[in-house]
Structure formats: C-alpha cells, structure tokens
Structure 1
Amino acid sequence: MRTRGAIAVVAAQVLLYVGAAGCSTEAQMRSGSALVTHVSAVTQGDPEPTAPRARLGLAEGWGPTADELDEAATLVGDLTLTQLAGQVLVADWSGTRPPVEMVRDLHLGGVIWFSGNITSADQVRRANRALRRADDRPWPLLVGVDQEGGLVERAGGVVTGLPSFMTGGAARRPDLTRAATAATGRELRGLGFTANFAPVADVTVGAADPTIGTRAASSDPALVAEQVLAAARGYADAGLVSTLKHFPGHGSVREDSHVTLPVQPRSLAQLQGRDLVPFRDAVAAGSSSVMVGHLDVRAVDPGVPASLSRDVVTGLLRTDLGFDGLVVTDSLAMTAVTRSYGPARAAVRALRAGADVLLMPADPVVARNGIVAAVRRGDLTRRRLEQAAARQVALLMHHRDARGAPPGSARPQALAWSRAAVTVLSRTCQGRLVGRRVQPVGDRDVVAAFTAAARSAGLRVGPRGTRVALLRSASRSVRADVAVAVGAPWVLAGSSARHLVATYGTTPGAMRALVEVLLGRRPAPGRVPVEVADVPARGC
C-alpha cells in the first residue's frame, strides 16, 4: 500500500505535466492519460498498473496469447490517430503493381487481392514482398484474398484450385477438409499472403439460395459446423488467418448483398436453431475471426446492415455468442452499404458497432479521414480504435512465426477430398457406368476438363459414345445417359438420365474422381448434403 505522500507526489507530477504541455499534442495526451491511469491504480492500492490488454478490454481464448495481446496493445498505443485510423482499413486496388504508396501513406492495416491484380506466381510473390517492406511497422501486414474454392477463387491461377466447399459436406471427412485447406494455406503463405477470407459458415437452403449455394458445406447446420471448424484449423495449421463468413448467416436469404440489402426475416429463435449454429460452435471452439455480412436482420436491428449494427455485432456476436476475437466487415463497397452510407459514415458506424477490420471501403482516404474526424469530435473513442487495431495486430503476430510443412502443391489433398465426395444419386452404385467411349456435352471449359481426365484414364472420347451431360445449371432438355452435377447438386432434379452423379467442382481432381467412378475403378462414397427433389437416393 502506497503512502498518501507518494500519491500526492505522483498526482503533482501529472498536474505539472498537463499544465506545462497543455495537452497540445496527441502523444502528450496519451502520456498524460497513462500517468492518470497509474495514479488511479496507486490510489486504489493496486500493486501494478493495469495490463495493456485489460486496458483495452482484450481477452484470450481466440488465438493470441496474453503476451501477444499486451504487445499489440502497447504497439498500437504509440500510433498517431491518423495511423490508427488507417490500421483498421484493408483496401483493394487496381492494376498489377503493388500499392506500396497507398499502404505507406494511409498506414493501411492491409490489402486484398483479386484476380485482376494477378499475372503470375512470381509477380504475386514479388509484390507481397514489396508490400511487407512498405514501412517499418514491427508487425505483419494483412495481405488477404478470397480463396474459398469452387466459384470463388481469386488466386486460382497461381495456387491449386479446390472444388466447392460443399465437397466437405458430401465427403463428411473433416480430416480431409483440414488437410486440403492446410495444403492450400501453405501455397498461399508461400506467395506472401497472411490471410484468407474463408471458410463460408453459412447454412444454405438449397436452390432458393441465389448467393451462397455450393459455397456452403451443407443445409445441415451441424454438418456445416463440423466442416467449418476443420477448414479453419487447416488454415491455422498453415499459419494463415482465416475468417468465418457471413455472420449471422447469408445462406437463408433470397437476395444478394452485392446488389441490395437482403432481408433476413427469420425470428431470433429460428436463427439460433439454424443459421447461428456453425458460428456458435466455432466461437466455442476458439475460432479467431468472423466476417459480418450486410444483412437486414429484422429480429435484431431492422433496416440496418448487420455489419453496421451494434445490436448484431456487439449484442448478438460478442455478448450472446461470447466472441472476443477479430470481427471483419464484408466489403463496404457493396451496394447493401453504399446505397445508404458514404465511406466515412459506414466506417465510423462499423467501428461503433464493434467491428475491428473494415474491408474494402469505397474510398479508403475518405474512410480514414472520417474516422479521424469522428474521434476528434467525440463520436468515436480512441480506445475503441486502439482495441480494434490491437486485435488485428495480435492475430497477425500470432500467426507470423508459425512453423509447419514447407509450401508444396495441394493437388494430392484436393484429389483425396474430391474422391471422398463424389456422389452417385441413382440406384446403380457399383460397376461401370459408361461404355468404352463417352460423348461429353455441356459447358466448353468443363467438357475440356472432363475430356483431359477421361483420356488420361484410357477412356475414348467422341460421338456415338455414352452421352455424359456435365451440368452447371438445371436443363431437362438435355438428353443423356449420365447426368453429372458439376456444381450445385439440385440441378439434377427432374433429370431423366439413367445415372445421376455429383462432383461439387470442375477441378482436375474432381474430374479425375468422376472418371474413376464412371469406369467402376473406385466407389462413390459421398452423400449429397442438401435436399434434391425427385432423386432416388442421397448416395450409395
């Protein structure tokens, strides 16, 4: 216990410091605040000042250690207000030259790559090296990409492509899911990426779901939860930050948030029983990061995008589900946000809601300046900004020193995943399903991929062979002996083909697994993880 005399001395030091400096600079204000905090601790009889992580309300249990959280809190506490405002932004850019100046000038927390930024693996590797050297901050830059597999593969030209995430739901082999995502994560890590905005934790409703579809593992919440946890652990094995999306669930709405603000009409009880299950289980298992979607959740905060809603982010995700980790917004350049909110207002609203990383603001300069202005006028606290930045920095540092297998091709793991998922929905589950010659029909690119796999297996391709329809969409007019859903399995509904097969992807591995089943060389162990009308079986 300190004496009253010692307390008076420390208090006098605070008064002298504040009086002499006039709190005229941001650094002086921070130092003065630290002294006041220390005096408060002394007067209450605390033996030591509060730990940096506790000062920002940061808790363990989602990845970073206590030491990493303390270090991150200390580091961001030394940033200027404008640097802090930039640190919570992750921006996109145009062209193929790395946006080094943008990162340095705005002190961006990170950048996100798209296919238009990529020309080759060497170009990506060199660009990410340049981005890491953009400034001298002692923590990694968030260098992210959307590499889910299937329809969403922004780095598909430079890393091994995975089939859609529904492959995991069909295979029901979390060990294979973890192996596939770990292998892909190592490829991404080898190119200089530090984050992948995957996996999808949405529960699809099936054919009525226009946005998620096969990006989801299943329409069964428990199965989705199992696969999401396996995928997230695989990315973590590779030392990559992953992000579960799109909270509180995009798979059960009928509109696309890229073009409008979708309405989620379900009651809170309905959400808790279905859409929230994968997120709830992932949070309980210690998952590190969650992306919040732009959904009008009528049961929680009507008319407000979930990403900008304090009732959703702080109330539903953090308080009700107990999530202490990193919250990322979906792209703030999407119409669901931009039709009602400008870049500055959206950024401030997201931070006030409880988000930590603001992804793709429509204008990062305006967003950064809007955050600074909000803090200066008292609409947003510096503590909330430091808290957001510290979570991001701590998680990046946590993965920075990850050790694992060196980068290599993910092809073997992708093939094993597809082999476990390929599904025969008709009654013939054994033996050869095609003759010595096949005639594939459908999308030109898919036909080319199938043809390569068929010829590699010794199967002849040409007219007057067994007709194999490779379907991306439903088409009852296509006459075929074998109908293959290469994407969503519900396109097989109403097909008159003798044999019905689902592959959940068009990757070389998926096509090879298909050909092996058609030739009777391997079984089809998968089970379709969604409802498909008018089919005789869910799998063999």
Structure 2
Amino acid sequence: MTPEEKAGQVILPFFTGTDVEAHAQVVERLHLAGSIIMGDNVPLDASGAVKPATMQALNRRLAKASAGRAWPGIIAVDQEGGLVSRLGRPLTEWPAPMSYGAAGNGALARLAGKALASELAHLGFNVDFAPGADVTIGPNDPTIGARSFSADPEAAAALSVEFSRGLLEAGVLPAAKHFPGHGSVTADSHRSLPVQGATLEQLEARDWKPFRAAVGAGVPMVMTGHIAVPALEPGVPASLSQATYGALRDLGFEGVAVTDALNMSAVKGKYPDGKAAVMALAAGADLLLMPADAAKAHAAVVRAVKNGRLSAARLDEAAVRVATMMHWRGRAGAPGGAAPGSGAGMSSRVSAAAITVLAGECRGPMVPGAVRVTGGAPRDRALFAAAAGRAGLRVGSGPVVNLVGFGGRPAKGDIAVALDAPWAIAGSTAPVKLALYGRTPGAFDALAAVLAGKATAPGKLPAAVGRYPVGTGCR
C-alpha cells in the first residue's frame, strides 16, 4: 500500500445527513477504513421510524466504497442499548446495559448481545462500538451511568465479555470502551477533559478489570477515552497518550486500539487540523475515530510520515492491525442477520429479569387495580399506560407512579420508578421505589406486571443507591 492508502486505512470518518454519495466518494478517494453511522445519517419515515431498506442501501454504498481491497470496509454504529442507541424502531429497543448487571445473568447478556447484533448485521453493519466496559462509581459519574453493567468490577468484566461474545456470534465486531475507564471520573469528555486521579494500583483493582477480561477473551478492539490520567501522562488525553497505549498493551492486548471520537470537546479545541490524529497514531492508536475533518487528518498523517514526526513503521503497524481485523471478519463470512424487531421478546426478558425493588413489598399487587402516572417524557407515560392496560390496570385514579428519567429530581408520589440510572430515586420520599433500567415497551410491561402482582421483581441493585447497598432487591 502507498503511504496515502495506509493513512486512509487508519481513519474512520463520519458524515452529516443521509446523502451518502458525496461521502462515499471521499472514502474512495482517501482510501478510508470505512464509515460510522451517526443518528443524523439514519433514514427515517414521517413517523420517525427507521427505514430498513434505505438503511441497507446506504450501507451497501458505503461498503462498495471500500471495494478493491482483500477485506471489507468498516460499517460501524454505536448501539449499546438504553440512552446510546442510534437506531430506533422498528429495530428492537433495548434497555440500558445496567439491566444485565441487575439480572446478574451472563448467559442472558450473551443472548441479548447476539440478538441486538443480528439486527445490525441484517442492515449491513459489521462493527458496533459496544459494550461499555466502564465501572461506574454511581451518582458522581455524569457520563456513563446506566451505560455501565455494574459498579462491581468483577460483574462488569464478566457481563461485558459475555455481551461481546454475543455480538461476535452474530458477525459484528465489538469494542470494549473506554480505556482506562470513564465510569470513575466526574466530568463528561464530550464537554471537557476529565482527570482521573486514581493511582495505577487503584486502576488495576477497579477500572482495568473489565479490560483485562476483554483482552483475555480475545475482544478484537478496545476504545481509548479522552481522559487525562496523571499516573500515566499528566494533562494528556488517554487517547493521545503513549503511556496509556503502553498500559493497554501491557494487559496483553494485540488487537486494534481505536480512539474515542476525535471531534469531541476534550480534544478538538486543543488539537485542531489533524494534530490529534498524528498524536494518537504516534502514541499507539491504530484506528482514528471521527476526526473533525477527515481530509485534514489524512493529509496530516501523510505529511507527518514524510517529515519524520510519525514513523513509517508505526503507520504500518496500525494499518496492518486494522486490515488484519477486517480480513478476519471478511473470511468469517457474514451471517444473514435477523429482521428488525426480532429481538423484542429477548429485550422484554432482560427487563423482566432486571427490575428491582428497593423499597416495598416483594409479593402480591403493589396497587389496587388503578394508578395515576406522572413524570417521565410523554412517550414514557404513553408506553406505561399501554403496558398497564395489558396487565389489567386502569390509568387515571389510585396511587401515583412517578417515572424518573436520567438526571431527574427526587421523586414524590406513592411509587418512584427510576427509568435509567437507579440513583435518580435515592432521595425519593415515595414509600415504594423501583429501578427499571429502561424505557422500552418491554421494560414498561415488566413494571406493569410487578405493580399488578402478576410477576415478581428478581433484580438486584448493581450499584449503590443512597442508603440502598449493592445487592438490594427481593430475595
């Protein structure tokens, strides 16, 4: 490959809108690794639902832009479940990853990962930037929250590995993220550069356990986060830090190290015009995700090799790792995938296994046959009303069910329900408190069934919520 082809092979760009042709031509001209699909690239109908056939066609055009190589191009998406889900209905809606921590069932996480990825594969995706292997510290974690499987490093490790295995079984490559751990910092890297003040010993004991497990399980990609770690390299985002990539390789990782999006505020302002791309590659990254300007990043990498700021051997190493991963993916064959919505039953099963009682009775009906509902978004209340009807509950009178979403205020009412991260109800005055970890139709069915006494709540808290410790739940 020429230096220009190698430089393209290590860049994964984004584009805006749903007009794919101009972007596909850029991928072809610069020999880019492929493309990532963001929310504004997803074709929607008038009701806001994904148009599967159009999405397939768009991805086929992007795949064609990588034709001529001996390996397929990357067609990637962020589809974790919960708040980070680029593709909505008619694809299956999945609850937050913390659901698997509450359910405490690795086999269920694996089956869910496979079902989620099968629908992605059907649309032409071959990479999902999931799962989050971050260990959350609870309410002081503003970014990850319910995107984390658990506050327990061992549980987060086991469950993220099983979810990754499910993705791989469906033919979709996972990426464990965000090394060296984003769940234990108190700032959001989308807005600023968080500082991780832990010692290396503390990182090893908590944040790095899921990544060590991922490496041991053969996960093909690890994503580095935009987090400054003074114990490794003060003031430098981990995604651009040689010491951080050294620590990752010291775990035994031999796969593709991919940066978090380089257009995020933690790096974009300080390292413009391709500077971040060159720094990341020189530090040890193999794949540069979403540089603010792919053409400038490409030109900067080529120029850096020519003037000696980036060694040709380092670019070769990165390009070979990406090409090897995709060559292996291409040789493995593309499973047929599964139709959009085919995982709905599995999604419901996850929520039914995860729903957790923090305070209240564990047996029998929690309400007398009718309820009032408040809080949440209009869609949340509509889904709850529909689920209540299916469970035989009337809506309009009786105890007040208060739905509390991400960042919600302490809930009043008779029954407080956390829809996302459970610590939103830590200060609730409601005598009954439930954690749901999702806002899907299946999650609301699980909630209505428990309220009506038609099902029990088997979940256990995977993270402490105020005075309720890890493991709180019905016995």
Question: Shorter-chain TM-score: what band?
Answer: over 0.9
- In structure 2, give the amino acid aligned to 1:138: A
1:359 to 270, 273, 289: 289
Residue 92 of structure 1 pairs with residue 14 of structure 2: yes
Asked if the contact 1:238/1:402 (under 8 Å) is kept, the reply is no
Match of 1:348 in 2: 278
Match of 1:104 in 2: 28
2:60 to 117, 121, 129: 129
Match of 1:377 in 2: 307
Match of 1:23 in 2: none
Q: Quick one: distance in 1 between partners of 2:234 and 2:348?
A: 44
Asked if the contact 1:494/1:535 (under 8 Å) is kept, the reply is no
Match of 2:82 in 1: 150
1:339 to 256, 265, 269: 269
Change in 2 beyond 3 A, CA 1:405/1:247: same
Match of 1:482 in 2: 415
Match of 2:356 in 1: 423
Q: Quick one: distance in 1 between partners of 2:270 and 2:317?
A: 27
Q: Quick one: distance in 1 between partners of 2:285 and 2:412?
A: 51
Deviation of 1:138 after TM superposition, in Å, equals 2.5
Change in 2 beyond 3 A, CA 1:525/1:271: same
Q: Quick one: distance in 2 between partners of 1:252 and 1:415?
A: 30
Deviation of 1:295 after TM superposition, in Å, equals 0.7
Q: Quick one: distance in 1 between partners of 2:89 and 2:456?
A: 31
Q: Deviations over 1:372-404 (max 9, x none)?
A: 111111222222222212211222222233465
Q: Quick one: distance in 2 between partners of 1:269 and 1:137?
A: 44
Match of 1:328 in 2: 258
Aligned structure 1 segments of 4 or more residues deviating by more than 6 angstroms: none
Asked if the contact 2:34/2:62 (under 8 Å) is kept, the reply is no
Change in 2 beyond 3 A, CA 1:406/1:346: closer
Change in 2 beyond 3 A, CA 1:405/1:92: closer
Q: Deviations over 1:276-324 (max 9, x none)?
A: 11111211222211000011101010011111111111x2000x21111
Residue aligned with 1:367, SS: helix
Residue aligned with 1:254, SS: coil
Q: Deviations over 1:59-92 (max 9, x none)?
A: xxxxxxxxxxxxxxxxxxxx11111111110001
Match of 1:266 in 2: 198
Q: Quick one: distance in 1 between partners of 2:6 and 2:336?
A: 35
Deviation of 1:243 after TM superposition, in Å, equals 0.4
Q: Quick one: distance in 1 between partners of 2:370 and 2:178?
A: 44
Q: Quick one: distance in 2 between partners of 1:208 and 1:479?
A: 22
Matches within 5 A, 1:165-180: 165-180=97-112
Q: Quick one: distance in 2 between partners of 1:301 and 1:82?
A: 31
Deviation of 1:338 after TM superposition, in Å, equals 1.5
Match of 1:522 in 2: 455
Asked if the contact 1:200/1:228 (under 8 Å) is kept, the reply is yes
Asked if the contact 2:34/2:63 (under 8 Å) is kept, the reply is no
Q: Deviations over 1:137-172 (max 9, x none)?
A: 231110111111111111124521211110011000
Q: Quick one: distance in 2 between partners of 1:348 and 1:86?
A: 13
Deviates more, 1:163-172 or 1:284-293: 284-293
2:390 to 456, 462, 470: 456
1:312 to 244, 261, 272: 244
- In structure 1, give the amino acid aligned to 2:388: A
2:37 to 113, 122, 132: 113
Residue aligned with 2:116, SS: helix
Asked if the contact 1:203/1:275 (under 8 Å) is kept, the reply is yes
- In structure 2, give the amino acid aligned to 1:81: P
Residue aligned with 2:403, SS: strand
Determine what percentage of the aligned residue pairs are the same residue. Answer: 46
Asked if the contact 2:127/2:173 (under 8 Å) is kept, the reply is yes
- In structure 1, give the amino acid aligned to 2:461: V
Match of 2:142 in 1: 210
Residue aligned with 1:425, SS: strand
Q: Quick one: distance in 1 between partners of 2:280 and 2:289?
A: 10
Asked if the contact 1:343/1:361 (under 8 Å) is kept, the reply is no
Q: Quick one: distance in 2 between partners of 1:403 and 1:368?
A: 29
- In structure 2, give the amino acid aligned to 1:447: R
Q: Quick one: distance in 2 between partners of 1:371 and 1:474?
A: 44
Asked if the contact 2:111/2:166 (under 8 Å) is kept, the reply is yes
Q: Quick one: distance in 2 between partners of 1:405 and 1:424?
A: 39
Residue aligned with 2:76, SS: strand
Instruction: Report the TM-score, using the length of structure 1 for normalisation.
Output: 0.83
Q: Quick one: distance in 1 between partners of 2:464 and 2:147?
A: 16
Q: Quick one: distance in 2 between partners of 1:511 and 1:349?
A: 46
Asked if the contact 2:185/2:195 (under 8 Å) is kept, the reply is yes
Matches within 5 A, 1:237-316: 237-313=169-245, 315-316=246-247
Match of 1:59 in 2: none
Match of 1:465 in 2: 398
Deviation of 1:479 after TM superposition, in Å, equals 3.3
Q: Quick one: distance in 2 between partners of 1:405 and 1:417?
A: 24
Q: Quick one: distance in 2 between partners of 1:293 and 1:507?
A: 28
Matches within 5 A, 1:44-55: none
Q: Quick one: distance in 1 between partners of 2:218 and 2:303?
A: 35
Q: Quick one: distance in 2 between partners of 1:105 and 1:343?
A: 19
Matches within 5 A, 1:396-435: 396-400=326-330, 401-402=332-333, 406-408=337-339, 409-435=342-368
Match of 1:236 in 2: 168
Change in 2 beyond 3 A, CA 1:366/1:406: closer
Match of 1:52 in 2: none
Deviation of 1:498 after TM superposition, in Å, equals 2.2
Match of 2:116 in 1: 184
Instruction: Report the TM-score, using the length of structure 2 for normalisation.
Output: 0.94
Change in 2 beyond 3 A, CA 1:133/1:405: closer
How many residues align? The count is 458
Q: Quick one: distance in 2 between partners of 1:535 and 1:251?
A: 20
Change in 2 beyond 3 A, CA 1:331/1:261: same
Q: Quick one: distance in 1 between partners of 2:390 and 2:150?
A: 32
Q: Quick one: distance in 1 between partners of 2:136 and 2:5?
A: 40
Q: Quick one: distance in 1 between partners of 2:409 and 2:258?
A: 39
Asked if the contact 2:10/2:33 (under 8 Å) is kept, the reply is yes
Deviation of 1:406 after TM superposition, in Å, equals 4.0
Q: Quick one: distance in 1 between partners of 2:166 and 2:149?
A: 15
Q: Deviations over 1:93-129 (max 9, x none)?
A: 0110222111111111011111111122121100111
Deviates more, 1:480-489 or 1:239-248: 480-489
Asked if the contact 2:35/2:62 (under 8 Å) is kept, the reply is no
Residue 495 of structure 1 pairs with residue 428 of structure 2: yes
